[in-house]
Amino acid sequence: MGEKTEYRDGPLERAFMGLFARKMEKFAGGKAAERKKEGGGGGDRAVWEWDYESFVDVSRRVMVGRTRAQQQEAVREVLLSMLPPGAPEQFKKLFPPTRWACEFNAALTVPFFHWLVGPSEVIEVEVNGVKQKSGVLIKKCRYLENSGCVGMCVNMCKIPTQNFFTNEFGLPLTMNPNFEDMSCEMIYGQVPPPLEEDPAAKQPCYPSLCSMSTPAAPICPKLRT
């Protein structure tokens, strides 16, 4: 996959990591969660004191002991908890699924998701036979690169994000990760395919990168259950 990308996160990036990680902690298992229940652990850490590795670690612990559907539901609840009451309904009013709304959200994705996925750019895509600049090309996904886990990519990012925009916000979104070079294409306005028809759901593990991998399995076990 090439040399691992180095990032220099500032206080703002760390704050985003901390906000998400602290929300996810309540779904995470392991010793850190036990410490938090006892009054210590991640709950005492300021949002800007988190780093990307600890954010990914929380994501990994959310997966443990949960089915694919339960992992995706946990992410949905975290995303909803980040929004003020009534936000999805307001989003639907402000951004009905028009070409303008799709292109506007693609433009917003580049700066606002940089802390999570790394560098990206708006690209032209074709949606329902119409060419528009509602695509985002993530050059090398930071989340996939740091986790090294196909299951985390699909269950903790791709599917929940697609479902959140499509179902909660009413703005269709399809994400197409490339597991060869770790890039990813986001297409606003395109309805995602059913999971059983999605190529991402048939990917094997990264045996040399993922600590939870099953090298002999033709498909990552986290994508089956």
pLDDT of residue 204: 78
pLDDT in tens, 144-174: 999 998 989 999 999 999 999 999 999 999 9
Tell me whether residue 193 is exposed, middle or buried, using C-beta atoms within 10 angstroms of its C-beta: 0 to 12, 13 to 18, 19 or more.
middle
Q: What is the mean pLDDT of residues 165-187?
A: 96
Q: Given a cut of 50, is residue 29 above it in pLDDT?
A: yes
Q: Which of 74-83, 95-104, 203-212 has the lowest mean pLDDT?
A: 203-212
- Of the candidates 45, 175, 46, the one whose C-alpha atom is nearest the C-alpha of residue 117 is 175
Q: Given a cut of 80, is residue 3 above it in pLDDT?
A: no
pLDDT in tens, 85-111: 999 999 999 999 999 999 999 999 999
**Model confidence band, residue 38 (pLDDT cutoffs 50, 70, 90):** very low
Q: Provide the whole-model pTM.
A: 0.87
pLDDT of residue 64: 85
Q: Which of 12-21, 45-54, 84-93, 202-211 has the lowest mean pLDDT?
A: 202-211
Alpha helical stretches, state H, the chain? 11-25, 31-37, 52-63, 68-81, 87-94, 99-112, 114-117, 142-147, 150-153, 159-163
Q: Given a cut of 90, is residue 214 above it in pLDDT?
A: no
Query: How many Å apart are CA 143 and CA 177, to the nearest integer?
Result: 11
Query: How many Å apart are CA 216 and CA 4, to the nearest integer?
Result: 25
Mean pLDDT over the full length of the chain: 87
Asked if 130 and 43 count as a contact pair (C-beta separation under 8 A), the reply is no
pLDDT of residue 32: 47
The rounded percent of the chain whose pLDDT value lies above 70 is 84
Q: Which of 25-34, 88-97, 122-131, 208-217 has the lowest mean pLDDT?
A: 208-217
Reduce the DSSP state of residue 127 to 3 states and report it: strand
**Model confidence band, residue 41 (pLDDT cutoffs 50, 70, 90):** very low
Q: Given a cut of 90, is residue 47 above it in pLDDT?
A: no
Q: Which of 36-45, 52-61, 156-165, 214-223 has the lowest mean pLDDT?
A: 36-45
Cβ-Cβ contacts under 8 Å for 140 (sequence gap 6 or more): 2, 5, 118, 119, 181, 182, 183
Query: How many Å apart are CA 54 and CA 26, to the nearest integer?
Result: 15
